């Protein structure tokens, strides 16, 4: 690591703002690539012209969709703590750069799998993408490095803002690039190729602009490749963090029902196209941008993150049920903003609660455990959701509502 790549945490606020801008730009381009494929995965398996044989039944399609989504989550569960620890030991910048190499390979393999209608190659590509998704713990750790306890939630909100911007542009692009009704030669492979190109650009940005924020690397840290599985037990054995991790699990469990299966709901109930789904998620992204770019920053710094999350999760529980009321696709646009708004307020405040309770030298490790807990929830949800949505389209949203309500109840028992 050269001196020019490293940031001194004693630097002026202007230097830290510059580091924050570089981190934000890297996260945005990374999430833009992920956002592009959001409108594609469900139609790819649900559509009779997708990757599965035309005579495949609906229940089989939704169950296989659950397995595809879970494959991503299994490998994210394994990789998140490893990347967090690697960034504690070797630095944030080299670990992030390495993860982007894996991302490029995953996107190219995705395109090949779709083009050849090879389901198991699609599963392998999703596994690689799950491994690279562990870099989110590195992003959070970089922000924790340059933040204070009072501005940590707002700085973590910058990752949410990057998510939002990626989800505004990415899904719209993905929906358009995969829809032959827009341009005759557009198909399911084009968005994956485009995402690979974006990731190459991101690698260049990391090489040129991303600062090294870990100025006290833990060279003696022993890295375990199976830590992700062990972390699940460890997360719930740590008395001072156990309830926080359980809240994280329930929150992720509920929201994943929505994010991964609303596409099936849209296709089956409203007969939407990929472009429609892309527009829908782009609209969600706009509200996420507003929440984390404007609303979150209006919350006073002295306000207790626990109280914010507890209240917002109650609103989210009701919002999942409100989604079932609209009878037309257009009507959904009036009720869905509640979900990105509640998600945008919950995620950074949960990360702040966890980070403030963790020691400075274990930020990467604890935030990596958080990603493992989220990945575990995202692993279980698709396996359950793929089956329950085949029973009835509304069941995933009812379970999501119950999960958000449970998360609020657990957090309310947490002592300061």
Write the DSSP assignment of 19-58 as a string of letters: HHHHHHHHHHHHHHHHHHTHHHHHHHHHSTTSSS-TT--H
DSSP letter at 8 equals -
Query: pLDDT-derived band of residue 16, with 50, 70 and 90 as boundaries?
Result: low
Among 54-63, 318-327, 367-376, name the one with the lowest average pLDDT. 367-376
What is the average per-residue pLDDT within 24-46? 80
For residue 18, the model assigns a pLDDT of: 64
Angstrom distance (rounded) from CA 202 to CA 209? 10
For residue 394, the model assigns a pLDDT of: 94
Q: Are the CB atoms for 401 and 317 separated by under 8 Å? A: yes
Angstrom distance (rounded) from CA 408 to CA 416? 15
For residue 106, the model assigns a pLDDT of: 93
Angle made by CA atoms 117, 118, 123, in degrees to the nearest 5: 125
- From the list 195, 167, 28, the residue with the least C-alpha distance to 107 is 195
Q: Is 104 helix (H, G, I), strand (E, B) or coil?
A: helix
What is the average per-residue pLDDT within 195-223? 83
DSSP letter at 12 equals -
Token pair of 299, please? 């919350």
What secondary structure does DSSP assign to 215-235, as a single string?
Answer: SS--TTPPP-TTHHHHHHHHH
What is the average per-residue pLDDT within 184-199? 89
**pTM reported for the whole predicted model:** 0.76
Residue 9 clears pLDDT 50, i.e. is over it: no
* Domains delineated in the chain: 12-213+225-412 (1.20.1250.20)
- Top pLDDT among 78 and 104 is at 104
Q: Are the CB atoms for 46 and 267 separated by under 8 Å? A: yes
Among 82-86, 115-119, 148-152, 170-174, name the one with the lowest average pLDDT. 148-152
The mean pLDDT value of the chain amounts to 84
Angstrom distance (rounded) from CA 85 to CA 219? 10
Residue 3 clears pLDDT 60, i.e. is over it: no
Give the best-scoring range by mean pLDDT among 109-118, 123-132, 328-337.
Answer: 328-337
Type and span of the H or E element at 406: helix 395-412
Among 20-24, 45-49, 70-74, 293-297, name the one with the lowest average pLDDT. 20-24
415 Cβ contact partners less than 8 Å away, ≥ 6 residues apart: none
Residue 331 clears pLDDT 90, i.e. is over it: yes
Residue 15 clears pLDDT 60, i.e. is over it: no
Token pair of 158, please? 């910058």
128 Cβ contact partners less than 8 Å away, ≥ 6 residues apart: 75, 102, 103, 105, 106, 109
Residue 178 clears pLDDT 90, i.e. is over it: no
DSSP letter at 3 equals G
For residue 215, the model assigns a pLDDT of: 79
Residue 2 clears pLDDT 60, i.e. is over it: no
Query: pLDDT-derived band of residue 31, with 50, 70 and 90 as boundaries?
Result: confident
Angstrom distance (rounded) from CA 369 to CA 81? 6
Among 76-85, 150-159, 217-226, 357-366, name the one with the lowest average pLDDT. 357-366
Angstrom distance (rounded) from CA 179 to CA 135? 30
What is the average per-residue pLDDT within 245-263? 92
Residue 8 clears pLDDT 70, i.e. is over it: no
For residue 239, the model assigns a pLDDT of: 77
For residue 403, the model assigns a pLDDT of: 96
- Top pLDDT among 378 and 325 is at 325
Residue 99 clears pLDDT 80, i.e. is over it: yes
Q: Are the CB atoms for 154 and 351 separated by under 8 Å? A: no
Q: Based on C-alpha coordinates, what's the Rg of the chain?
A: 20
Query: pLDDT-derived band of residue 34, with 50, 70 and 90 as boundaries?
Result: confident
Backbone angles phi, psi at 6, to 5 degrees: -105, 145
- From the list 191, 150, 199, the residue with the least C-alpha distance to 352 is 150
Residue 204 clears pLDDT 70, i.e. is over it: yes
Residue 320 clears pLDDT 60, i.e. is over it: yes
For residue 364, the model assigns a pLDDT of: 65
């Amino acid at each position: 690591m050269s001196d020019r790549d490293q940031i001194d945490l004693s630097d002026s606020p202007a230097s830290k703002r510059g580091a924050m801008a570089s981190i934000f730009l890297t996260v945005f381009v990374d999430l833009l690539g992920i956002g592009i494929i959001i409108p594609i995965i469900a139609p790819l398996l649900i559509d009779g012209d997708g990757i599965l044989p035309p005579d495949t039944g609906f229940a089989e399609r939704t169950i296989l969709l659950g397995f595809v989504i879970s494959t991503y989550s299994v490998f994210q569960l394994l990789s998140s703590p490893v990347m967090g620890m690697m960034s504690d030991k070797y630095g944030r910048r080299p670990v992030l750069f390495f993860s982007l190499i894996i991302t490029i390979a995953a996107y190219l393999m995705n395109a090949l799998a779709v083009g050849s209608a090879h389901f198991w190659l699609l599963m392998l590509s999703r596994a690689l993408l799950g491994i690279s998704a562990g870099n989110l713990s590195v992003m959070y750790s970089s922000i924790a490095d340059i933040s204070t306890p009072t501005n940590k939630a707002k700085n973590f909100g910058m990752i949410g803002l990057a998510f939002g911007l990626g989800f505004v542009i990415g899904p719209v692009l993905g929906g358009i690039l995969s829809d032959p009704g827009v341009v005759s030669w557009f198909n399911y492979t084009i968005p994956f190729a485009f995402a690979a190109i974006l990731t190459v650009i991101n690698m260049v940005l990391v090489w040129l602009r991303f600062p090294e924020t870990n100025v006290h690397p833990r060279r003696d840290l022993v890295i375990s490749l199976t830590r992700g599985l062990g972390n699940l037990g460890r997360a719930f054995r740590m008395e001072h963090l156990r309830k926080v991790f359980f809240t994280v699990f329930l929150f992720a469990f509920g929201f994943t029902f929505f994010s991964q299966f609303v596409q099936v709901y849209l296709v089956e109930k409203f007969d939407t196209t990929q472009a429609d789904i892309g527009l829908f998620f782009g609209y969600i992204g706009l509200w996420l941008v507003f929440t984390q770019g404007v609303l979150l920053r209006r919350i006073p710094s002295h306000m207790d993150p626990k109280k914010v999350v507890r209240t917002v999760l109650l609103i989210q529980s009701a919002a999942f049920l409100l989604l079932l009321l609209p009878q037309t696709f257009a009507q959904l646009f009036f009720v869905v903003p509640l979900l990105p708004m509640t998600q945008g307020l919950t995620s950074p405040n949960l990360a702040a609660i966890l980070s403030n309770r963790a020691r400075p030298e274990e930020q990467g490790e604890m935030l990596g455990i958080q990603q493992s807990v989220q990945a575990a929830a995202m692993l279980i949800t698709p396996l359950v959701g793929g089956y329950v949505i085949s029973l009835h389209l509304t069941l995933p949203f009812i379970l999501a509502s119950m999960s958000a309500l449970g998360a609020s109840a657990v957090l309310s028992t947490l002592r300061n």
